[in-house]
Amino acid sequence: MHPHLHRRILNTVFAEHFSTAELRVMAWANMLQDRPRNQIGRGYIHFDDSLFAEAEAYIAAERARVFTALSQGRRRAALRAFGRLLHTRQDFYSHSTWLHDWGATVPDLATQPADAVPLCLDSRNYPNLISGNGGLVWFVLWRLPLFGRWIKANYPPAPDTHEVLNLDGPERGPLFAFSYNAALRHTVVEWELVQDAFLVER
């Protein structure tokens, strides 16, 4: 999902729960998940490469860091951990085939309410689910000025790549709106798991 969309979700869900400064801390940690060092060999951070068990474990570990940091009075550290886990959770809906599989069962997307997509509370429970394989080198080559289109036409991405499967923005078609809505609703679910700890610490 594009960085500004992650940020929009955070602002929508948390404006009434956190100060502007705290939201900034959380959003910065969220957006840093997309820095280059997290793009190679760390597919679990983005629910890429079908690393579902690893991604769920990562989310659980970051959630545990939230509780630990709050118990120690380290609120900023808790906000950063929460921002990181939310990035991963939100990416699930735009990087996996969850929305594609759901869309294949719907005769007319235009008639579906925005919240029609069921949330995936644990991706490990769906063995047929896949997510796009990474390919940073090809991602860069396909976007080279002048030559990128030629390279992509002659060396097109495989069907199971992130390039084909992603729903990172509205340019990716009608499923994006449902993906975004599901990511927003699951953000609320994640908040419900930690909100008492944040409120007690405050």
Mean pLDDT of the 30-54 span: 88
Residue 122 CA, chain-centre distance (Å), reads 14
pLDDT value of position 162: 83
pTM score of the predicted model: 0.91
pLDDT value of position 164: 84
Q: How confident is the model at residue 49 (pLDDT cuts 50, 70, 90)?
A: very high
Per-residue model confidence as pLDDT tens digits over 59-102: 999 999 999 999 999 999 999 999 999 999 999 999 999 999 99
The answer for residues whose C-beta is within 8 angstroms of residue 78's C-beta and 6 or more apart is 65, 66, 67, 69, 70, 197, 198, 201
Mean pLDDT of the 182-190 span: 98
Contact in structure between 123 and 152 (CB atoms under 8 Å): no
For the cut 80, the answer to whether the pLDDT of residue 129 exceeds it is: yes
Q: How confident is the model at residue 52 (pLDDT cuts 50, 70, 90)?
A: very high
d(CA 121, CA 128): 15
